[in-house]
Amino acid sequence: MTNRLPWWMGGILMSGLLLLTFSIYGADRAIGASTYVPYAAALIFDLDPEKYSYINHIKDSGSWEGVMLLGVLFGGFITSVFITKSFRVSLIPTAWKTYKNNSVLSRLLWSFFSGFIMIIGARLAGGCTSGHFMSGMSQMAISSMIFGGVVLITLVVTGRLFYNTKGDK
């Protein structure tokens, strides 16, 4: 058995999952994966919904995605142990060493910082790669096309400026 699926197979399977989730036999909603984060923050820090309106605003999406997240962690773990065999504890990605630096501290600080602004960005836009890019564009939503265009451009510009890619082919 192969331990990597080709991109086209991944695209077809993901499309099947999106359609299942949208259908009335599935969940009759879109897949999203960023609302669970502020929901989890409210849950962990025990924020009072009376005081912070955003908690009530995201109550439904947040709990739906929260349950989905538990599934994602489980599915990702099982697949990484038994199929892709990629499970291992690591602090720094290989390509970070090649194109950035060898410092664990640098990687962890940048991770914390980028995680922080990623969630603020996703919540400002009202979605992420799943909610906007995949689910939104599949509905031909104008909002998601604006988001997708901005993300694609900034992603590639940041990659060019942040990583040291000079000197290799």
Partner 1 sequence: MADIIFVANEINTTVTDRVFKMVENVIHMEHGSVALVFLIGVIFGGIIQYTRVDKFEKIAGFSMLKDTIIPKMLFLAVGITTIGLYFMIEAGQGHYHVKPIMVQGLVIGGILFGVSMAILGKCPGTGPVSIAEGRVDVLIGAIGGLFGGLVFTLYYDDFFKPLMGESLGTSILPEFFKGHEALTAIVFGLAVIAVAIAIPKKELFDEADLNQLPDNQRPDRK
Mark residues 123-152: x for contact with partner 1 by CB under 8 A, - for none.
xxxxxxxxxxxxxxxxxxxxxxxxx-xxxx
Measure the CA–CA gap between 33 and 30, rounded to whole angstroms. 10
Residue 114 contacts partner 1 per CB under 8 A: yes
101 is an interface residue for partner 1 by CB under 8 A: no
Beta carbon nearer to partner 1, 102 or 114: 114
- What minimum distance in Å lies between the beta carbon of 102 and partner 1? 13
Are 36 and 66 within 8 A, CB to CB?
yes
Determine the Cα–Cα distance for residues 167 and 162; give it in Å rounded to an integer: 15
Interface with partner 1 (CB under 8 A), residue from 25, 50, 166, 167: 25
- Type of residue at 133: F
**Collapsing DSSP states into helix, strand and coil, what is residue 29?**
coil
Q: Contact between 105 and partner 1 (CB under 8 A)?
A: no
